[in-house]
A and B are shown apart, each in its own frame.
Chain A
Amino acid sequence: MTIGLEEFLIVGSLLFCMGLLIALSKRNAIGVLIGVEVMLNAVNLTLLSFARFTESAQPIAGHTFVVFVITVAAAEVAVALALAILIYRNRETVDVDQFTLLRS
């Protein structure tokens, strides 16, 4: 049996949907961030699958894009975790249901 582009894309999309489920449903703000990281990983996997399996004038483009995604993910997680710690310091919770500062 051969492994082609479709199998990689299915694994990537399954991973993405799991990440989406985590990001949408977790109560803890850090859990939501974990979901976002899983989604970014799935996107990287999909980008590299396309770079490896499809015709392209510049096959290196997919690899370059993955480098940028990893960079932006690192920057995003640093700021988001700093925000989580800041909110924890003020409200003593990281429960996203309790983040209702803008409602009142």
Chain B
Amino acid sequence: MDATGEVLAFWALAALTLVAASGVIVSRNLLHAVLFLITSFLGVAGFFVLLSAPFLAMAQIIIYVGAIAVLVLFAVLLTPRAGRDNSETSMFLPATALSIALFAIIAFVVYDTEWRVVTEVPQELTVRDLGNALLTTWVLPFQAASVLLTAALIGAIMLARSPAEEEEDRER
């Protein structure tokens, strides 16, 4: 992509996403870290639009920003005495070294590999295509994902019940 708008949008989104992600690392308050996380999710949704996947961008906003981030916020609010501390353990320096080393390796691989890049812009994939693919070629993983979601839902409810509710169930 070489249109001026696309190039500008790419660099703006890259700056937004990466600055927000580093905000998660440096902010001392866990609530601020979650707000930075939401900003980073929105930046990635912008990238999805740029990569001609508008449906997935909407799904990203609804699921990550609307559901996952709110769930994380609730978990922060439900653990009040643990504090809002977002500091690092003593493993911060080794972890930094490991991350930088991993990034160096990935960057080397990215620039060293001859990617078979398409020259023309591929045709737009619609929601209809995605739905067709999900319910024909990938119908088995689709079903497995629904079973996984049900199991996770039941598991989360069972785990997070309060002792008082468990007592009530036992008496019934």
Contact = CB atoms under 8 A, between A and B. Distances in A.
A15 B20 CA distance: 10
Interface string B75-109: 11011011001111101100110111011001100
Interface string B46-61: 0110011100100110
Contacts of A37: 37, 64, 68, 72
A11 B46 CA distance: 13
25 contacts: A4-B1, A5-B115, A6-B115, A13-B110, A17-B106, A18-B18, A20-B102, A25-B89, A26-B88, A27-B86, A27-B87, A28-B30, A30-B72, A34-B37, A37-B72, A48-B47, A52-B51, A64-B137, A70-B56, A70-B64, A74-B68, A75-B148, A81-B156, A82-B159, A85-B79
B130 to A, nearest CB: 6
A33 B68 CA distance: 11
Looking at chain A, what size class is its interface with the partner chain? 35 or more
A48 B30 contact: no
Interface of B: 1-2, 6-7, 10, 14, 17-18, 21-22, 24-25, 30, 33-34, 37, 40-41, 44, 47-48, 51-53, 56, 59-60, 63-64, 67-68, 71-72, 74-76, 78-79, 81-82, 85-89, 91-92, 95-96, 98-100, 102-103, 106-107, 110-111, 115-118, 122, 125, 129-130, 133-134, 137-138, 141, 145, 148-149, 151-153, 155-157, 159-160, 162-163
B75 A85 contact: yes
B68 to A, nearest CB: 5
A49 B14 CA distance: 14
Q: Which 4 A-B pairs have the closest CB atoms?
A: A75-B152, A24-B95, A82-B159, A2-B2
B134 A64 contact: yes
B18 A64 contact: no
Nearest to A34: B37
A15 B156 contact: no
Contacts, number: 244
A96 to B, nearest CB: 7
Interface string A1-44: 11111111111011111111110111110110111011001001
A85 to B, nearest CB: 5
Contacts of A54: 115-118
B88 A92 contact: no
B6 A67 contact: no
A83 B89 CA distance: 20
A72 B152 CA distance: 9
Q: Most chain-A Cβ atoms within 10 A of its Cβ — which of B82, B98, B103, B163?
A: B82
A93 to B, nearest CB: 6
